[in-house]
Amino acid sequence: MTVQEILSIGHPVLRETATAVPPADIAGERVQAVIDDLIDTMRHANGAGLAANQIGETARIVVIEVNDNPRYPYKPPIPLTVAINPELEVLDDETVVINEGCLSVPLRGDVVRSVNLGVRYLDREGAEHCITARGLTAGTWQHECDHLDGVLITDRADPSTLCTWDEFQRHHRDAFIERITRFNQQVGT
């Protein structure tokens, strides 16, 4: 297990636009090591996802996984997904407000996200995938892909909703979980 340091807001790499990974490089030792480090680091931190630039690598790679995550008990399960050069396509105008946290930012805040996305990416073997992501899963994809473009939740969140994790737990968590649970039931996620 190789757990890397997760960079915090203020580190310049978090504001860089990540570079596409040439498909011919995917099977290489360097790219595979970054993928393994991302998985180990995300799991160690109980994250729902992690982008390569959060561990100092400016490659367009994200990992996503939700499986009984104590930080996000309201998120639907997502199997371990390694996405190289992900591309998102908004499928309609439906949006939802998600109170998001981030492993690189010690704050949470309300972010407007698209509900329905088309997602294209290459996996760690270089195979192409085209999926539809809905609801909170679509929000997770948008959050992680924002990182690849140097965008943090502080850029997208309603400033009046920003709070620490502790204050979210004390004052906002229950209302958010109630609202997002109703939303999950409506969209069938």
Beta bridge partner(s), residue 111: 98
Comparing CA positions, the residue from 132, 135, 163, 149 lying closest to residue 62 is: 149
- Among the listed residues 94, 144, 167, 178, the single catalytic one is 144
Q: Let me know if 144 is a catalytic residue.
A: yes
- What's the token pair of residue 170? 């004390």
Provide the edge-to-edge strand list for the sheet that holds 128-134: 49-51, 61-66, 78-90, 116-122, 128-134
Q: What is the DSSP letter of 141?
A: H
Per the CB < 8 A criterion, the answer to whether 55 and 43 are in contact is no
Tell me which residues are annotated as active site: 144
